[in-house]
């Protein structure tokens, strides 16, 4: 007990210890709020810092026990306190909070251990006392740049975080705690052991720093891939619209040519008072009117264009399409986003029906509904399917195609765009039908009706 009280006395009046706790509290505040504080939040952030510092100090001096046990318990308590602080005060989303906490916690424990090892080696080979404290504080100060480094990676932009990267950081946290426990047993026995531990902590710290960058790069690459897929879909739709327009123009030229010949023939029959032949000719013309000129008109020009392109695709595959459409002429959504949502839903439906027809199932069909529902635009696309269950993957559905790297982005694009407009997307199966439902907020920030 006397040894514990002496250790507490030395710690409480150790200036280096106070500096370390100040740096520790500052690093978590910087990670949570960033480095530039606006006037309206400056008081709140300062209050957060003082409360966090007081809690950390209280936890630190509250343990009257031998040094070895103190280090283990302190690491655990520090992790719990910092996690609670980040959970309450941070504006990161839940996944980003986990990533940030794991990375920061691992970095702090590593740098704390490195500071302790270098401080010990300084005392062994250079000078004890002031030199040890100065070295320990200098190493500890690197925690603040690490906080700014982690803060630079805004994971709030990305909802898909690789589980492998998070698992690597969690493994690093566990490894550090195990290594810290081993250190408490071997501390001060031999400087060579301290050097080995120092190298181990340094390697783990580098792994954490690189892992967080790799996670961010993977998230960014995934987001860029989805954006490129959406852009590709838009360009394909524009190309198909151009082809459809040219085809319609050619059909109109042919119809115009036929009408001129028909008018000339009817004029001859009329002049010659051959009324029975004229009536019979009218019946033939009525029976052979071109049915290809079917056209969807829902009240919105953009959606008209998109759906008519999709209707042409479905007609080529002999897939019947039912629709219930009542759309306001002006919508507060990007034309590209609307195109991406409807095109992905319809293309997936057409592709599934095409697959079933190739397998011999002729009883296929698609139904599309678009209309306002309270303050949302409701979009529902339903198609025949042979699926028995849906394999959800991240924010979308797992593709049934072999190459998952190049496919399976459509459902995720729809979900991401729905969330962009304060809405949601839902996929389900019912009575042999695949049903996709999307809600888009008509009163979103990008525009009002």
Span 381-417, pLDDT tens digits? 999 988 877 665 455 454 444 444 334 567 788 888 8
Q: What is the mean pLDDT of the chain?
A: 76
As a whole number of angstroms, the distance between CA 397 and CA 410 comes to 9
* Residue 48 CB neighbours (<10 A): 19
Chain centre to alpha carbon of residue 48: 30
Percentage of residues of the chain with pLDDT beyond 90: 7
Is the CB of residue 133 less than 8 Å from the CB of residue 11?
Answer: no
Instruction: Tell me which of 409 and 317 has the higher pLDDT.
Output: 317
Q: Which of 80-89, 128-137, 304-313 is predicted most confidently? A: 80-89
As a whole number of angstroms, the distance between CA 419 and CA 432 comes to 28
The helix-helix angle for 67-89 and 39-61 (nearest 10°) equals 160
pLDDT digits (tens, 9 = 90+) for 61-81: 655 555 556 777 777 888 888
Q: Is the pLDDT of residue 315 over 50?
A: yes
Assign 373 to helix, strand or coil: strand
Q: How many CA atoms lie within 13 A of 297 on its CB side?
A: 3
Is the CB of residue 67 less than 8 Å from the CB of residue 188?
Answer: no
Is the CB of residue 339 less than 8 Å from the CB of residue 233?
Answer: yes
Q: Is residue 316 within a helix (H) or strand (E), and if so which, with residue range?
A: helix 301-316
Compute the average pLDDT of residues 296-317.
83
Among 145, 143, 150, 154, CA closest to 114 = 143
Instruction: Tell me which of 289 and 224 has the higher pLDDT.
Output: 224
Compute the average pLDDT of residues 275-303.
70
Per-residue pLDDT band for 3 (boundaries 50, 70, 90) equals very low
End-to-end Cα distance, the chain = 73
Q: How many CA atoms lie within 13 A of 420 on its CB side?
A: 18
Q: Look at phi and psi of residue 188 and say left if phi exceeds 0, alpha if psi is from -120 to 50, else beta.
A: left
Is the CB of residue 211 less than 8 Å from the CB of residue 164?
Answer: no
Instruction: Tell me which of 251 and 112 has the higher pLDDT.
Output: 112
Instruction: From residue 303, give the alpha-carbon distance in Å to each of 245, 338, 347, 383.
Output: 16, 8, 15, 19
pLDDT digits (tens, 9 = 90+) for 226-240: 667 666 666 666 666
Q: DSSP class of residue 291?
A: S
* Residue 371, pLDDT score: 92
Among 220, 449, 446, 232, CA closest to 336 = 232
* Residue 306, pLDDT score: 83
Q: How many CA atoms lie within 13 A of 225 on its CB side?
A: 16
Per-residue pLDDT band for 368 (boundaries 50, 70, 90) equals very high
Q: Which of 250-254, 294-298, 367-371 has the lowest mean pLDDT?
A: 250-254
Which residues make Cβ contacts (< 8 Å) with residue 8, sequence separation at least 6? 61, 64
* Residue 37, pLDDT score: 65
Among 116, 115, 10, 111, CA closest to 60 = 10
Helix/strand number for the chain, H first, E second: 13, 7
Tokens representing residue 210 in the block: 């690189």
Q: Is the pLDDT of residue 190 over 70?
A: no
**Options 3.40.50.970, 3.30.565.10, 3.30.70.20, 3.40.50.150; which CATH number does 301-441 get?**
3.30.565.10
As a whole number of angstroms, the distance between CA 313 and CA 449 comes to 32
* Residue 381, pLDDT score: 94
Which residues make Cβ contacts (< 8 Å) with residue 348, sequence separation at least 6? 381, 383, 410, 411, 436
Q: DSSP class of residue 389?
A: -
Q: Is the pLDDT of residue 111 over 80?
A: yes
* Residue 187, pLDDT score: 58
Is the CB of residue 416 less than 8 Å from the CB of residue 395?
Answer: yes
Q: pTM for the whole thing? A: 0.55
pLDDT digits (tens, 9 = 90+) for 152-169: 877 766 666 666 667 777
Percentage of residues of the chain with pLDDT beyond 70: 71
* Residue 238, pLDDT score: 62
Q: Which of 122-126, 239-243, 425-429 is predicted most confidently? A: 425-429
* Residue 6, pLDDT score: 45
Q: Is the pLDDT of residue 369 over 90?
A: yes
Instruction: Tell me which of 13 and 271 has the higher pLDDT.
Output: 271
């Amino acid at each position: 007990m006397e040894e514990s009280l002496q250790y507490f006395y030395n710690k409480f009046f150790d200036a280096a210890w106070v500096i370390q706790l100040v740096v520790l509290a500052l690093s978590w505040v910087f990670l949570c709020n960033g480095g530039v504080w606006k006037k309206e939040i400056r008081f709140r952030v300062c209050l957060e810092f003082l409360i966090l510092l007081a809690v950390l100090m209280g936890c630190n001096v509250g343990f009257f026990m031998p040094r070895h046990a103190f280090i283990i318990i302190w690491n655990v308590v520090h992790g719990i306190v910092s996690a609670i602080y980040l959970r309450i005060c941070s504006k990161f989303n839940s996944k980003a909070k986990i990533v940030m906490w794991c990375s920061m916690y691992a970095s702090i424990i590593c740098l704390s251990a490195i500071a302790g090892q270098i401080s010990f080696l300084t005392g062994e080979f250079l000078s004890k006392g002031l030199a040890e404290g100065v070295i320990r504080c200098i190493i500890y100060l690197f925690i603040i740049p690490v906080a700014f480094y982690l803060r630079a990676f805004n994971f709030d932009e990305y909802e898909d975080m690789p589980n492998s990267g998070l698992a690597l950081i969690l493994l690093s946290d566990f490894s550090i705690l195990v290594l810290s426990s081993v250190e408490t047993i071997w501390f001060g026995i031999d400087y060579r052991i301290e050097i080995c531990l120092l190298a181990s902590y340094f390697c783990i710290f580098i792994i954490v720093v690189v892992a967080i960058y790799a996670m961010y790069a993977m998230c960014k690459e995934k987001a860029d891939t989805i954006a490129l897929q959406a852009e590709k879909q838009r360009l394909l739709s524009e190309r198909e619209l151009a082809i459809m327009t040219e085809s319609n123009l050619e059909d109109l030229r042919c119809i115009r040519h036929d009408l001129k010949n028909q008018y000339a023939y009817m004029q001859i029959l009329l002049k010659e008072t051959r009324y029975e032949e004229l009536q019979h000719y009218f019946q033939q013309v009525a029976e052979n009117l071109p049915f290809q000129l079917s056209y969807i008109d829902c009240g919105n020009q953009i959606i008209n264009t998109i759906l008519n392109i999709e209707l042409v695709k479905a007609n080529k595959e002999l897939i019947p399409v039912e629709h219930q459409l009542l759309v306001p002429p002006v919508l507060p959504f990007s034309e590209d986003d609307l195109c991406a949502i409807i095109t992905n839903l319809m293309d997936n439906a057409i592709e599934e029906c095409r697959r079933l027809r190739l397998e011999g199932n002729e009883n296929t069909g698609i139904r599309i509904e678009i209309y306002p529902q309270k303050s949302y635009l409701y979009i529902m696309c339903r198609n025949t399917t042979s699926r028995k269950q849906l394999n959800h993957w991240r924010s979308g559905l797992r593709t049934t195609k072999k190459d998952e790297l190049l496919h399976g982005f459509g459902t995720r694009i729809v979900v991401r765009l729905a969330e962009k407009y304060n809405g949601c997307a839902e996929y389900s199966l019912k009575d042999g039908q695949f049903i996709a439902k999307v809600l888009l907020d008509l009163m979103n920030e990008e525009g009002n009706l």
